[in-house]
Amino acid sequence: MVRDVAARVHVPAFGQGVAGEEKSPGEFVSRVDREAEPLLTDGLAELTPGFPVVGEEAVSADPSLLGALRGDRPVWLVDPLDGTTQFLAGSPDHAIMLALVDRGQTVAAVVHQPQHGRTYTAELGGGTWRDGVRLHREPADPGDLAALRGAVLRRFLSPDARRAIEANEHRFGDLAPQTTCAGVEYPRIVEAQADFVLFWRTLAWDHAPGALLLTEAGGVAVRPDGSTYRPDDDRSGLLAAADGGTAQAVLAGLGLG
């Protein structure tokens, strides 16, 4: 269903000069977001009748919809175009993301990257897969911070977190100052192309899908205090890492843990 929506909406529009509009400072929405979300919502309603569907653009119009995450029924989270800014700029680094959340725990996820031709799926207890191939993330070497490959998304950092990171980032050899989008960054860690990414804003549709992909492959997604990420918890700060040891070392190295 996700691939079908991508073929109908995302692929024909890519590189065609689609315009975006700013819905909040630095946050863009396009007709692709608006056309894809109802199709995904309808498709999920047909596949799983009775399950609420919470989409990013629907929440923009009615924030109370997020309350469904704290209910007792499974809820679908939908991000119809993760990486809208990248899409509008002509970058292939964007994705469609879905997550099924049951009483605060993500139990299934789909991340489809239309331009890269890759579909990642995960099920709680069932592992992480890319187009039928099971994936496993080997641990990194947390003993050498300078050798770890990682990034910090600085845009939403709190003043305290920014000061801590700026005082400690010299410990890391190549700390990228920005990321593409969650639908690309989480799979990069799963595929051992990166070892960690620190996010600060943690909207549920951005992180529930990728966090399950990562944890089912052997990685971790934790808060700065070390607690496990849950999509019904909207606190700031989330570290995605190759393994628990790497997460502890990165948080301590950045002055956050």
93 is known to lie in a ligand binding site:
no
E strand map for 114-199: 118-123, 127-130, 133-135, 149-152, 174-176, 196-199
Tokens of 187: 């799979």
Q: Please report where in the chains the tokens 């990685």 appear, as a residue.
A: 219
79 marked ligand binding residue: yes
Q: 182-190 and 204-216 helices cross at what angle (nearest 10)?
A: 10
Chain CA centroid to CA 37, Å: 17
Backbone angles phi, psi at 75, to 5 degrees: -130, 135
Distance CA 96, CA 112 (A): 5
What does the DSSP 8-state code read for residue 139? P
148 known member of a binding site: no
Alpha helices in the chain (DSSP H): 2-5, 11-13, 31-47, 56-61, 84-88, 159-168, 182-190, 204-216, 244-253
State the sign of the Cα–Cα–Cα–Cα dihedral 218, 224, 228, 231. Answer: negative
Residue 81, marked binder: yes
Whether 82 has a binding-site annotation, put simply, is yes
What 8-state DSSP symbol labels residue 7? Answer: I
Binding region for Mg(2+): 56, 79, 81-82, 206
Return binding residues: 56, 79, 81-82, 206
